[in-house]
Each structure stands twice: as structure tokens, then as C-alpha cells.
Amino acid sequence: MTVLQVAVLVAVAVGGGAVVVAPNALRQALVLGIYGLALTMLFFVFQDPDVALSEIVVSTVGLPVMVLLALRKVHHQEGEREEDSS
Amino acid sequence: MSRGVRLALFGVAGAGFAAVLVIGMTGLPDFGSYHGVYGQIIDGIGVTVRHGTDLITALNFDIRGFDTLGEEFILFASVLGIVLILRQLGGERHQPHQEESDEHHFAGASEALRALALALIPSVIAVGVYIVVHGQITPGGGFQGGVILAAAPLAMFIAGRYMRMRVIAPHLVIELGDVIGAAGYALVGLSGLVFVGIFFKNSLPLGIPGHLLSGGQMDVASVFVGLEVSGAFLVAWTHFLDQALLIRSGKQS
């Protein structure tokens, strides 16, 4: 196993942990994007460029966008509910 | 259950899981050492018989094209689920199209970000098309290129102009792309059944390995999958965007 492979494996382990311990959902979505970038490098270093190409867009753009928009919608609805009750 | 009991329970379960994981991992073959028969057969016939130099694409769109049909409809069905869940309900209404929502400058979208996002669109489209049509030669193919292509209109939203994104990628067009792509891939399989008698057996000329028009049905299948995937992602994103930015519950005026 090369130094590069060990380095990306460590990056993925640290990134996965960072997603779990992120303090709130908003930051979690952003850390998830960075973790996806680490996964992309993992696939690339372990010689699977096909999966790396899918992962780079899905994890850095596709998934965070959906999570962020869902958070915004939930935030909006909570705001409306508070206005209703006040 | 108190915190202490839960931690103790996690400690026991975690230690057991770690032990099983380590035992399992130590038995794995080294990276790069592969002795499976199937992979060696694919390695042997991928270029010589199927004329595709990227064996992953040869596997996805030719040798096991039927598997990809199922995978493609998984994506189709999940996007259908998103559309069903995020549809506009009876009590909800669209926010009136004021100037604010027309331009939709959301907080923090600086001029630099907008310029960069807009400048990226042509190159993202070029890379996406390249990856779709060169799937059988170099790493990539319909799925990878399709996702990259879908990101191009999304850059319009990142530039702070969601209403314009709806103009360049209207609902009808992206839904049609999704549907035509999904149906087209199934038709590639049917063409095999009609012309050579076996579902998903290649019926097109194979060409010279390494050339743009080679690999027979791989290129055609790749284009249809690219269309389906970019349509599917855009349908999902626009439904999320509509819900987050435009649709409001009907109670307030």
C-alpha cells in the first residue's frame, strides 16, 4: 500500500467522523461535501476513476444542495408556525 | 435507560463489532491481487470482442446491459418518489413573482461568485458531453457525464438566478429528457431482441477500438443514460428548489 493510499484512507476516516460530530445540520451538510471530496480521492487513488467521476458531482453538489434546500424549507415552516402561535 | 447503561451497551457492541471487522479485514487479499475468473474473462474479451477500451462501460452497457436497465429504473423510480412527495399541495401556493423572487439575490451571493458560476456553465457542459460520448474509450459514461451536465443549469441557481434556471431548464424539457432517456435505454435492449434475437445483445457495427464511434451499442446506450440521469437530477433539484424558494403554505397572505 502506498503512502497516498494510506493518506486518503485516513482522510476518509477523519472526514466521516467530522460529519458525525458536526454541531448542527447546516454545518453537517457542508462537511458532508468535503467528506465526499475525500471519498472521490479514495476512489481515484484506488484506481476506480469511473466511480470517482460520479462521486465528485453527487457528493459535492448533488446531495448537499438537496440537504440545504430541505433545511431551508423546514426553517421557513418553523418560522411560519411561530408567527401563527404568537 | 440512563447514560451510563447506554454507554456500557455501546462499549460492548462497539468492541465486538471492531473485533469482527479486524478479523474480517485481515483475511482480505492485498490491493491489486485478483484471482476471480469472471474479471479475467472480461479483461480478455472487453477490447478484442466488444471493442470498448473502458471495460467498466463495456460491462455496464453491453456485457451486463440488462443489470443497468434495472439500475436506471431505480433512479427513475426514486425521482418519481421525490416528485410525488414534493408536489404542490392543495393548501399551498406559489409566492408571487416579485422582482425579488425574479432575481433572487440570496444573502451572500457576491458578484464574484455569480461571475464564476456563470463562467463555469460552458466548460461544465463541454466536460459533461465529452464524458458521455467517450464512455466506451476513457473512464466515464452516461451516468457520470449526465450528473455533470445536470450541474450546468444548477450553476445558474448558484449565481443567484433561480427564475432564469427555470427558463433555461423548464420542467417540461427536463421531464421529457428523463423519460426519453429511460425509454431509449430500454429500446436499445429491445433492438437487440429484434435484430439479433437476444435482449441487450449488440446489433450495431463495433468499429475500431479507441475510436469515438466504436463499441457498438455502448455509445447509444451512454447517450440515453446521460439524458435520463441529467433529467432525473434536474427534476429532483427543481422540485427541492420550488419547495424551498417558491411554494408557501396558504395560510398567510
* pTM, two decimal places: 0.87
pLDDT of B240 > 70? The answer is yes
Does B237 reach chain A within 8 Å, measured CB to CB?
yes
Question: For residue A13, what pLDDT band results from cuts at 50, 70 and 90?
Answer: very high
Does B139 reach chain A within 8 Å, measured CB to CB?
yes
Report DSSP state, residue B59.
I
| Average pLDDT value over all residues in chain B | 87
Instruction: Test B240 with A1 for CB contact under 8 angstroms.
Output: no
Question: For residue B150, what pLDDT band results from cuts at 50, 70 and 90?
Answer: very high
Instruction: Test A69 with B244 for CB contact under 8 angstroms.
Output: yes
**Could you give the angle at the alpha carbon of B72 between the alpha carbons of A56 and B215, nearest 5°?**
85
What is the model's pLDDT at position B251? 58
Q: Rounded to 10 degrees, what is the CA torsion of B62, B64, B67, B71? A: -50
Instruction: Test B237 with A65 for CB contact under 8 angstroms.
Output: yes
| Average pLDDT value over all residues in chain A | 89
CA-nearest of B175, B204, B209, B171 to B187 is: B204
pLDDT in tens, B70-115: 999 999 999 999 999 988 887 777 776 554 444 555 555 678 888 8
pLDDT in tens, A26-65: 999 999 999 999 999 999 999 889 999 989 889 988 888 8
Q: Please give the Cα distance from B32 to B29 (Å, whole number).
A: 8
Within 8 A by CB and 6+ apart from B36, the residues are none
Q: Please give the Cα distance from A51 to B76 (Å, whole number).
A: 20
B207, B45 Cβ separation under 8 angstroms: no
Q: Please give the Cα distance from B53 to B43 (Å, whole number).
A: 10
What is the model's pLDDT at position B253? 43
Chain B hits for A50, Cβ within 8 Å: 54, 56-57, 139-141, 144
pLDDT in tens, B46-58: 888 888 888 889 9
Q: Please give the Cα distance from B62 to B68 (Å, whole number).
A: 9
Domain boundaries, chain A: 3-85
Lowest mean pLDDT across A71-85, B47-61, B220-234? A71-85
Q: Please give the Cα distance from A55 to A9 (Å, whole number).
A: 16
Lowest mean pLDDT across A12-21, B29-38, B220-229? B29-38
A53, A43 Cβ separation under 8 angstroms: no
pLDDT in tens, B189-208: 999 999 999 998 888 888 88
What is the model's pLDDT at position B97? 56
Question: For residue B249, what pLDDT band results from cuts at 50, 70 and 90?
Answer: confident
ipTM of the complex as predicted = 0.88
Please compute, for residue B72, the number of CA atoms within 13 A of its CA located in the half-sphere on the CB side. 33
What is the model's pLDDT at position B102? 47
Domain boundaries, chain B: 34-249
Range 149-168 of B in CB contact (< 8 A) with A:
150-151, 154
Dihedral class, residue B33 (left if φ above 0, else alpha if ψ from -120 to 50, else beta): beta
Q: Please give the Cα distance from B82 to B237 (Å, whole number).
A: 9
Instruction: Test A84 with B141 for CB contact under 8 angstroms.
Output: no
H/E stretch holding B38 reads: helix B37-48
